[in-house]
Amino acid sequence: MLPFSKEAINHRMTTNALSFWGLKNNDELDPVVKLMIEALSASLYELSTESQNAQVRMLDRVAQLLTPDYVVAPRPASGLMHAISIEPTDVLLPSHQFSCSHTPRTETSQKPEKPIELWFSPARPIRIANYSIGAIITSNYAFALDERQQRINSVTCNIPELKIKNAVWIGIQSPVEKLPIQNLSLHFQFSRIAPQEASQALSFLPLVKCFYDNAEISMNEGLCYEASKEDISKRYASPTSTMRQIEEDVVLQYNRYFLSFNSDLILTTDKRKPLPIEGFAQENQALSSLGLQPMHWILLTFPHTIHSNLLDNCDIQTNVFPCINRRLIELQHSLKGGSKIVPLKNKESHEQYLEIATVGDSSQNYQPPQYGYSTDEPTGLYNILQEGLERFDSRDATTHLTNLLQLLRAESASFAAYGYDFVASSLKELHQKIAMMEQKISSSPNNANSNNHYLLVQPIQGEETIFASYWATSGSLANGIKSSFPLKPNNNHNTQIGSTFFIQQTNGGSNRLLGDDRLAAFRYALLSRDTIVTKQDILSFCEKELGESVHKIEISTIQVAEGRTVQHFRRVVQVLLTPRIPINEEDWLQTCDRLQAQLKSRSGMTMNYRVQIVA
C-alpha cells in the first residue's frame, strides 16, 4: 500500500480514531465518524496529489529557466535536395522557401494522417547553376541520366583504360555558352551497396582527382557556401543562436558527400563532345546506342580502395545541397493601448516556434538586451517570452476562460428570478458576449496553447508598428520524406520548374523537449554548457538526443589505422549504440552520421568520433 494513497490515509485516520476512543474494532465506530473519515481522507489525498503536482511543475519550471532554449528547442528535419537555376549561375538563400504536401504517419497509429504542408530552405547560401550530369561511363557500364538524376538506358561496356586508372567519365550538359564552375559541387552517393561499405567509401572521397581537357582541376572536400564566417555571425543576434547551431550540425553531417570545384575554369561550348575520347564508339558499339548529345566530359580518378564494383554503383549529381525543415513567417503588428506584447502565431497547428529572425520598426532593427546593458536607453530592444503566468497546476489561459464562461452561464440564471428589466437586458447582453467568446475560443484552439511565444518590445518613441520575422518548424512530422519527392518553390522564381526534389530521405526532426526529456537536457546543459569534454558529457548528450530509442550506450577510446595517403594511427572516441527496438539500418546510419557531426561541432578538445550501431 502506497503511503500517500487514499486507502493508506483512511487506514491511518481510522487507527488514530480507534486509539483516541479506546476501541479495538472498526465496527465499533459510529457510521457518521466513518463517513467523516472517508471524506477527509479523500480531501487529504487530493491535497497530496496537488502538492506533488506543484512540486513537479516547480522543478520543471526551474529546469526551464536554467536550460538554454537551444538545448530544448525543436529540431528541424534535414535532407538533401536538388534544384537547377534558370540563370547561368545563381545563389539560393535560407530565405528562399520550398514546400511539399506530405502525409506523415504517427508512431501510435498505422493509419495515415491528413496531408500537411511542410516547408524547407537551404541550410546556408549556396551557388547552383544551369547544368546537370547527362551521362556516366565506368569501366563496365555506361548510362544516361534523366531529369530526376536517375539512371536510364544502361549498357554494358569494357574500357580497360578506366579500369587501370580506376576512373569514371561524367558528362556535363548545359545550355550556357560560358559556364564558370567555381564553387559548384558534385554529390556522391553509393545507394545500391551495403550501408557500412558505402560509409567507408565516402571517407576516401578527398583523394579523388578531377581532370578536364587533360588538365587537373583543384577540388575541395565538402560544399563551398556563399557566406563567410563574418556574414554568418551577423545573421544571428547571439553566438548561442539555436538556428546557428542547427545549421552547423547539418553542414557537418552532409559535408562528407560532396566535393567542390576550386578553379577559375569556364566551360565553353566549343569543348563539347558526344564521347570523351574518339574511338570509344568503335571499341564499344554499345555506347553509340545511348545517343548522347555533345557534353563537357570530366574524368574522376578514385583511390584503389574504391574498387570498380563501388564505382559501378556510385551515383554522381550536381546542384545538390542540404536543406532544413523551417518556415520563415513575417508579421506586422500595431501596438495599441500601450501594449508592448506581440504574439508570435504559427501559420499551421503542426508548426512549432523555433527562433526569432528579425524585429524592427520602419526606422531601425531591434536587438535583444545584452548582459549589463544600461537602463538609460531601454528603447529598441526586445525579449522573447514563452507561455503565460505560472500556476501550480496544468490549467492554461484557455481552460480558465472556459471555466469562467461556464460559471457565468450557471450563475446568471439566479439573477433572472428578480425580474427587473435592467437585470434581464444585462443578462441577455452577457449571454451574447459569452457566445461570442466561446465561438472565438473554439475557432482558434491553437492560438492559446502553452507553447505560445511572445515578443516584449521596447519601441522607439513615436513608432507604433512592429515588423517581425521568425522561424517555425514541423519537428518530427517532417521525417521520412522519400528521395525524389517533389518540392514547390514559393517565394523565388530562380529555379526551373520540376527541378526541385529530394535526393535523400529526410531525418533528424524532433519536437520540443518536455517532462523527463527536459530534465535530461537541463542536467546536460548544467554540467557541460553544451561543450563536450568528458565521457559523461558524451553520455548525457547521447541520452538527450536519442531518448528511449537506445537500450545501451558504450563509450571507449580506440586507435584506428587510417590510410588515405600515409598509413598512421589516429585516436578516436568510439560510441556504440544498442537500439531498443528493431532497426532500419539505413535510418540508423543517418542517425549515427548526424550524432557524429553534432559531437564534433560541440567538442571542446578537437576529438575524432566514430558512432556505430550494435546489432
Q: pLDDT per residue over 349-379, tens digit each?
A: 889 999 898 888 888 888 887 765 555 556 7
Q: Say yes or no: 203 and 291 in one domain.
A: yes
Is residue 343 scored above 80 in pLDDT?
yes
Name the pLDDT band for 189 (thresholds 50, 70, 90). very high
Is residue 449 scored above 50 in pLDDT?
no
Is residue 6 scored above 70 in pLDDT?
yes
pLDDT of residue 235: 65
Q: Say yes or no: 35 and 136 in one domain.
A: no
Q: What SS3 class is residue 186?
A: strand
Residue 298 CB burial class (10 angstroms; 0-12, 13-18, ≥19): buried
How many C-beta atoms surround the C-beta of residue 553 within 10 A? 14
Q: Quickly list H helices, 155-206.
A: 160-165, 195-202
Largest CA distance in the chain: 115
Distinct helix (H) and strand (E) counts, the chain: 15, 30
Q: Say yes or no: 57 and 157 in one domain.
A: no
- Kindly state the average pLDDT of the residues 334-359: 84
Is residue 447 scored above 50 in pLDDT?
no
pLDDT of residue 173: 93
Domain count, the chain: 4
Could you list the beta-strand ranges (E) of 25-174: 78-82, 89-92, 98-102, 116-122, 126-129, 132-137, 141-145, 151-156, 167-173
Last residue of a domain, one of 274, 296, 318: 318
Is residue 133 scored above 90 in pLDDT?
yes
Residue 481 CB burial class (10 angstroms; 0-12, 13-18, ≥19): buried
Q: Which value, to the nearest 10 degrees, does the dihedral of the CA atoms of residues 531, 537, 542, 544 take?
A: -80
In a domain, 52, yes or no: yes
- Kindly state the average pLDDT of the residues 536-556: 86
pLDDT tens for residues 368-414?
877 655 555 567 888 887 765 555 555 666 676 677 767 766 666 66
Is residue 282 scored above 50 in pLDDT?
yes
pLDDT of residue 492: 72
What gap in Å lies between CA 561 and CA 609, rounded to an integer? 14
The conformation of residue 556, written as its DSSP 8-state character, comes to E
β-partners of residue 320 are 82
In a domain, 26, yes or no: yes
Q: Say yes or no: 287 and 180 in one domain.
A: yes
CB 292 within 8 A of CB 54: no
Q: Pick the closest to residue 341 from 382, 401, 397, 375 (CA basis).
A: 382
In a domain, 553, yes or no: yes
Q: Which residue has the cell 570509344?
A: 280
Mean pLDDT over each residue of the chain, to the nearest integer: 82
Q: Say yes or no: 198 and 289 in one domain.
A: yes
pLDDT tens for residues 10-56?
888 888 888 888 888 877 788 888 888 888 888 888 888 878 777 77
In a domain, 146, yes or no: yes
What gap in Å lies between CA 321 and CA 183, rounded to an integer? 12
Q: Say yes or no: 420 and 548 in one domain.
A: no
- Kindly state the average pLDDT of the residues 86-94: 92
Mutual orientation of helices 242-254 and 585-602 as an angle, nearest 10°? 120
CB 522 within 8 A of CB 90: no
2-11, 232-241, 316-325, 532-541: range with lowest mean pLDDT: 232-241
Coarse DSSP helix, strand, coil percentages of the chain, rounded to the nearest 5 percent: 35, 30, 35
In a domain, 372, yes or no: no
83-87, 134-138, 181-185, 563-567: range with lowest mean pLDDT: 563-567
Last residue of a domain, one of 26, 42, 66: 66
β-partners of residue 212 are 215, 298
In a domain, 369, yes or no: no
Residue 499 CB burial class (10 angstroms; 0-12, 13-18, ≥19): buried
Q: Say yes or no: 421 and 538 in one domain.
A: no
Last residue of a domain, one of 276, 298, 318: 318
Q: Say yes or no: 162 and 303 in one domain.
A: yes
Q: Say yes or no: 295 and 410 in one domain.
A: no
In a domain, 91, yes or no: no
- Kindly state the average pLDDT of the residues 123-137: 93
- The grid cell for 573 is 572516441
In a domain, 413, yes or no: yes
- Kindly state the average pLDDT of the residues 459-479: 87
pLDDT of residue 78: 94
Q: What SS3 class is residue 283?
A: helix
pLDDT tens for residues 491-506?
777 899 899 999 999 9
The continuous run of DSSP H or E covering 211 comes out as strand 209-212
pLDDT tens for residues 525-544?
878 877 888 888 888 888 88
Global pTM value: 0.80
pLDDT tens for residues 144-168?
888 888 888 888 888 888 888 899 9
Please, which residues have CB within 8 angstroms of residue 261's CB and are 6 or more apart in sequence? 181, 182, 183, 184, 185, 186, 210, 217, 218, 219, 220
Domain that holds residue 439: 397-443
What gap in Å lies between CA 463 and CA 461, rounded to an integer? 6
Name the pLDDT band for 326 (thresholds 50, 70, 90). very high
Name the pLDDT band for 181 (thresholds 50, 70, 90). very high
Q: Say yes or no: 12 and 136 in one domain.
A: no
Q: Say yes or no: 145 and 60 in one domain.
A: no
Name the pLDDT band for 471 (thresholds 50, 70, 90). very high
pLDDT of residue 361: 86
Q: Say yes or no: 303 and 408 in one domain.
A: no
Name the pLDDT band for 604 (thresholds 50, 70, 90). confident
